[in-house]
């Protein structure tokens, strides 16, 4: 029986002519084993990729949590800064008012000195 059998195994092309059923079975068994070996290797690679994916996902989740924490801290610091600036404006206005009062009092005192003691 003349049979042409071609298959791809491990990236190499195998060809057999005039095969017997026993040869075909042996070749099929070899091809099946090679396929199973490749499948096992690909499964291991897939499991490694899944492990890496989980590790990257965990890292990204931690980074997102840290960014959220930093953002919240920044928002809090910004709010505190705004409150401090407002308080500084209030203090500055009070200081300016105090200077004006002191200047006015000084002028009154100097005017009173010029007039002398009143009897």
For 40-95, what is each residue's pLDDT tens digit? 999 999 999 999 999 999 999 999 999 999 999 999 999 999 999 999 999 999 99
CA 70/CA 85 separation, integer angstroms? 22
Domain boundaries along the sequence of the chain: 5-108
Q: Over the range 33-72, which residues count as b (16 or more CB within 10 Å of their CB) and which as e?
A: ebeeeeeeeeeeeeeeeeeeeeeeeeeeeeeeeeeeeeee
- 53 Cβ contact list (under 8 Å, min separation 6): none
State residue 23's pLDDT score. Answer: 60
CA 6/CA 19 separation, integer angstroms? 11
Average pLDDT, stretch 24-37? 77
State residue 118's pLDDT score. Answer: 61
Residue count of the chain? 119
């Amino acid at each position: 029986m003349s049979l042409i059998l071609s298959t791809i195994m491990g990236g190499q092309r195998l060809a057999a002519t005039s095969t017997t059923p026993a040869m075909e079975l042996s070749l099929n068994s070899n091809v099946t084993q090679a396929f199973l070996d490749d499948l096992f290797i690909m499964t291991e690679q897939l499991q490694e990729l899944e492990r890496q994916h989980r590790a990257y996902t965990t890292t990204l989740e931690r980074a997102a949590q840290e960014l959220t924490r930093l953002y919240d801290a920044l928002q809090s610091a910004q709010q505190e800064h705004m409150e401090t600036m407002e308080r500084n404006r209030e203090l500055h206005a009070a200081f300016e008012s105090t200077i004006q009062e002191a200047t006015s009092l000084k002028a009154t005192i100097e005017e009173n000195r010029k007039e002398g003691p009143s009897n």
